[in-house]
Amino acid sequence: MKILAVMNQKGGVGKTTTAGSMAHELARIGHRVLVMDLDPQGHLTDSFGVKSKSGPGTAEILNGCLGVHDLASQIRDSLFMIKGNRGLMGLEGRVGEGMVSYLKLHHALHDINVTYDYVILDCPPSSGFISLNALFASDEIVMPITGDYLALHGAAGFLNILQRIRQIRKREMKHWIVLTRFQPRRKLAMEVRNKIMEHYPQHVLATVVRENVALAECPGFGLSIFEYAAASTGAADYSALVLDYLHGNTMKTCSANVA
């Protein structure tokens, strides 16, 4: 089982779209996947058509009240979800009571008695209690970045936090960068892409996710991009991105779809 956190301190970078699309595509190609909505906004829960945020959800896992097996429900073939719920709103600003409080998610995911190939965590745009639990639980990080300089500066800050977590955990944790909401005809977008390639050449997945209206529309229908617009560039990009992730294809080793 591999645990993958999709996170960025900056909002509006396509984090939830990336988490949901990667989870559904991994399930579509035959993997058994659990996706967890850790964002108090609950957008991932909504985007899969799970409307109610009342009742128990990921907040109860972080509080140590319930286990993964109590809450996971099947939402698509081979795809299971633990929904976000209102209890998360009071958790992100919580101050941990020692290291054990930041390991609640880690213990919950390693105590499950059901086999998943992948667990994907959709994290809030912050570095508080929830996000730290996700960092300590994860094997790998996927960081979506848009083509603007604020996103580039935010990436540097987040990677510094990630390095400190690695030192505390005393083990390596892979991280991948995904260029999202990309507009290749914009000069600024290409400049930011080149800067990211200059600083993180081994970590930028080869496929960029181009700006696509279908990606913005599909959550409103409770559908993933593969259900809503299977022939769209959004579906094509996320399908290719998952293959990049599985095979470790980066812009350094492959051609990117930036035309």
CATH topology of domain 2-247: Rossmann fold (3.40.50)
pLDDT of 42-54, one tens digit each?
999 999 999 877 8
| 3-state SS track over 194-231 | HHHHHHCCCCEECCCCECCHHHHHHHHHCCCHHHHCCC
What pLDDT, on a 0 to 100 scale, did the predictor assign at position 121?
Answer: 98
φ and ψ of 239, to 5 deg = -65, -45
pLDDT of 146-165, one tens digit each?
988 777 777 778 888 888 88
Q: Is 28 helix (H, G, I), strand (E, B) or coil?
A: helix
Q: Is 120 helix (H, G, I), strand (E, B) or coil?
A: strand
The C-alpha torsion from 106 through 107 and 108 to 110, rounded to 10°, is 90
Which amino acid, one-letter code, is at 206? A
On whether the CB atoms of residues 183 and 21 are closer than 8 A, the answer is no
Name the DSSP letter for residue 176: E
Domain locations in the chain as residue ranges = 2-247
Q: What whole-number distance in Å separates Cα of residue 221 and Cα of residue 214? A: 11
User: What average pLDDT score do residues 38-45 get?
Assistant: 94
Reply yes or no on whether the pLDDT at 259 is more than 60: no
User: In what helix (H) or strand (E) does residue 236 lie, and over which residues does it extend?
Assistant: helix 233-247
Tokens 């000069």, located at residue = 187
Report the predicted TM-score, pTM, of the whole model to 2 decimal places: 0.93
Strand order of the β-sheet with 140-145 is: 73-76, 79-82, 33-37, 118-122, 2-6, 140-145, 174-179
Sequence-ordered list of residues with C-beta below 8 angstroms from that of 166, at least 6 positions apart, any chain: 172, 173
Q: Which two tokens stand for residue 123?
A: 């994290």
Name the DSSP letter for residue 4: E
Nearest to 26 by CA among 8, 4, 43: 4
CA distances to 44, 121, 156, 186, 217 from 51, rounded to whole Å, are: 10, 19, 35, 37, 16
User: What average pLDDT score do residues 226-254 get?
Assistant: 93
Give the pLDDT band of residue 17 (cuts 50, 70, 90).
very high
For the ranges 20-29, 195-204, 229-238, the lowest mean pLDDT is seen at 195-204
pLDDT of 111-129, one tens digit each?
887 789 999 999 998 888 9
Q: What sign for the dihedral angle of Cα 45, 48, 49, 55?
A: negative
Residue 118: strand pairing partners: 2, 33
